Structure 1
Amino acid sequence: MVTPVSPLTDLDARSREVFQRLVDTFVETGEPVGSRTLSRKMSVGVSPATIRNVMADLEQGGLLYAPHASAGRLPTELGLRMFVNGLLEVGALDTTERTRIETMCQAAGRSLEGMLEEATTLLSGLSQCAGLVIAPKTDAPLKHIELVHLGPGRALVVMVAANGTVENRVLEVPRGLPPSALVEATNYLNARLAERTLDESREAILADLETDRSLLDDLSRKVVAAGLATWSDDKPGAALIVRGQGNLLNDVSAVQDLERIRALFDVLETKEQVLRMLDLVIDAEGVQIFIGAENDLFTLAGCSLIVAPYQNSREEIVGAIGVVGPTRLNYRRIVPLVDYTAKVIGRLIG
């Protein structure tokens, strides 16, 4: 029978070192760790027999478990939590990694979506996990709008918000539309968009067109109507970007691990559930770590989530970025990666 977990402060120095080195080895290999392996890693000479006794005590305390009778030990999810809270020594990013993160994010220009995609792809590659980013729909006032001809029946709408973010959308417009109609529609919209959100602009434009049909010619009116229809079709809520799911299949050796990854894939495909990730950090500061059953989004997958919010210039939380992977994540390396990336995003979006 497992007794309640004791705080790490209740453990003596030898037990703490055995536990820390066991978790470090597990994170590195993903395999059960035996007493002989640990005896070679200890700072002072300790026999395998002594280490087995310490491991038995740690198992009794709920920090370790044996997957098989003759196997070494693995940390429990509670043990990993104790490790993260009490023993984790977070590493520092080197100059090369910091420069790479900033360069990749800046390469996307002023496009928020492009920057978030770059950041997520990079974070996935650096962590060798799946990268996630939540980009809530913002309702910032618009500064400028531009309609650009793409081809027969299509036009690109470039919208620049007051906070500097850029969003592009493709509209369906009447075929054979002359360039003058796009220019007229652009001028008309810009005259009514200044310092208004999309919703506010839509209401004002509908009112104008209802009261004065002479404001626009027929073709320009159709372009504006197409834009209004596109805006109203937008679904509220946050957008989700996921990159690097294939990384989760690296080094999967056990059948149960593969099943966990498959379960995680199912969760990631159910984007509505993953969007709840923002709720986990909306009132938090800094990086948050959720291990296994602590996060009801990924309980079945037996995975860990490391996530941090990012803020705009008004110190409002506008999104979250993180990684998800097996519980044997390299927490020491990934925590500063997530933290720094979130801060870079917040600085660039203004």
Structure 2
Amino acid sequence: MSNGTSILNELNDRSREVFRRVVEGYLESGEPVGSRSLTRVMSEKVSAATVRNVMQDLEYLGLLNSPHVSAGRVPTQMGLRMFVDGLLEVGDLHSTDREMLDATLGDRGDVGAMLDRVGAALSGATHGASLVLAPKHEAPIKHIEFVSLAPDRALVVLVFADGHVENRLFTPPPGQTPSSMRQAANFMNALIEGRTLSDLKSVMRREIAARRQEIDVLAQELIDSGLAVWDGEGDSYERLIVRGRANLLEAAAEEDLDRIRSLFDDLERKRDIAEFLQLAEEGDGVRIFIGSENKLFSLSGSSLVVSPYMNADRKIIGAVGVIGPTRLNYGRIVPIVDYTAQLVGRMISDRS
């Protein structure tokens, strides 16, 4: 049991109601909630002085905070976590949100285009920024080619048996030459027939071990580097679709703008994006990360609502999420993210 949940269990009914109404008021308006406004909505008739005393107790417990010189209170990160875990009432998916998301399934175009539409719809429905982590393309590969762009930059061209083509940038080991890249590509193409990237990785590890002396050292390093990129350790950024930047910038208070820009700097550098899927995989269904719990970004004033989606074999292959300020309307956004994840999973399964 979390520390916050145990504190919640120890609160009396009046304290729980004051706490719940402060959080709900803050999530709705983004403003501190004062004792006078609470006296008008409390289920029992109490004075503003009594409510103020309760609020002070909740502040002492670390659940509320009083910003600046305001007489009102806002929830702390611990308070928000406790509310989400113990008091949040998740609503049903609204029919207009469902229709907006269902409309993304329109044509039978490629998965990337469909996921881009999903991201746009998710951002539109939640007024936040949406994150969609696309599945890796796991069809058998027909051909691989390396193209040197600069001493520290190379392109790998992957042609899949189903006609899909991907171009991926990566950083080759130092000292690569066009001939060592050709040698590496020839080595891979000789092994590639009918294999997916995942299959190829294990086969090549065995081949490299068996023929280590025969393979030029630079080509071997290139293969290792290329495989690291393809294996998902470095290429997750290429699979992340982000929509709705303007929503966050428009909704931000002046003092939050630098933090929001910092968030998008993080996104544009694609730092730690590999953790996005890991976050989703650590638990079934929708998960909520508040403030500094959110390992994905350095931004402490944001919340991430994320859910994995699965293919027909019930294997987690990607994730969808919404990121916004900590005062997100969690009760409305949780069912939207949950429905979107199920929708994407069904659609991916239907196309495979």
TM-score range, shorter chain: 0.7 to 0.9
Q: Does 1:76 align with 2:73?
A: no
What is the SS of the residue equivalent to 1:242?
A: strand
Q: Deviations over 1:266-286 (max 9, x none)?
A: 221121323321111223200
SS at match of 1:306: strand
Structure 2 CA distance, aligned partners of 1:123 and 1:312? 20
Shift in CA distance, 58/295, structure 1 to aligned 2, threshold 3 Å:
same
Aligned positions of 1:19-34 closer than 5 A: 19-34=19-34
State the match for 2:211 in structure 1: none
Over alpha carbons, which structure has the higher Rg? 1
For 1:14, the equivalent position in structure 2 comes to 14
Letter in 2 for 1:27: L
AA aligned to 2:286 is V
Q: Per-residue displacement from partner, 1:158-201 (whole Å, max 9, x unpaired)? A: 9675xxxx84558xxxxxxxxxxxxxxxxxxxxx9996436879
Aligned residues of 2:100 and 2:125 also touching (Cα < 8 A): no
Match of 1:263 in 2: 262
- 2:328 corresponds to which residue? 329
Structure 2 SS opposite 1:276:
helix
Write the distance in 1 (CA, Å) between the matches of 2:192 and 2:118: 30
Contact 2:292–2:300 (CA under 8 A) maintained in structure 1: no
C-alpha contact 1:261 1:301 (8 A) present in aligned 2: no
Classify the secondary structure of the residue corresponding to 1:320. Answer: strand
Aligned length: 283
Counterpart of 2:279? 280
Contact 1:289 1:304 in 2 (8 A): yes
Secondary structure at the residue paired with 1:138? coil
The match for 1:41 is 41
Under a length normalisation based on structure 2, what TM-score does the superposition of the two structures give?
0.72
Q: Deviations over 1:129-165 (max 9, x none)?
A: 00001124232347x99xxxxxxxxxxx99675xxxx
What CA distance in whole angstroms lies between the structure 2 residues aligned with 1:167 and 1:33? Answer: 54
RMSD: 3.1
1:253 aligns with 2:253: yes
- For residues 166-205 of structure 1, the aligned pairs below 5 Å read 167=164, 196-197=195-196
Q: What is aligned with 1:243?
A: 243
Alignment of structure 1 residues 43-192 onto 2, 5 Å: 43-104=43-104, 106-141=105-140, 167=164
1:206 matched residue in structure 2? none
Contact 1:267–1:274 (CA<8 Å) still a contact in 2? no
Q: Is the 8 A contact 1:120 1:131 kept in 2?
A: yes
Q: CA deviation at 1:101?
A: 1.1
Q: Note if contact 2:303-2:328 (Cα within 8 Å) is conserved in structure 1.
A: yes
Is the Cα–Cα contact under 8 Å of residues 294 and 300 in structure 2 kept in the other structure?
no
Kindly state the Cα deviation for residue 62 of structure 1 after the two structures are TM-superposed. Answer: 0.7
Tell me, which stretches of 5 or more residues in structure 1 are unaligned? Answer: 146-156, 171-191, 204-231
SS at match of 1:250: helix
1:90: how far off? 0.4
Gaps (5+ residues) in structure 2? 144-157, 168-190, 204-225
Q: 1:294 corresponds to which residue?
A: 293
Structure 1 74/200 Cα, relative in aligned 2: closer, same or farther at 3 Å? Answer: closer
**Separation (CA, whole Å) in 2 of partners of 1:160 and 1:345:** 24
| Distance apart, 1:306 and its partner CA | 0.4
Could you list the runs of 4 or more consecutive aligned residues of structure 1 that deviate by over 3 angstroms after TM superposition?
Answer: 157-161, 166-170, 192-196, 198-201, 232-235
Q: State, as a whole percentage, how many aligned pairs show the same letter.
A: 51
User: What SS is found at the alignment partner of 2:134?
Assistant: strand
Counterpart of 1:227? none
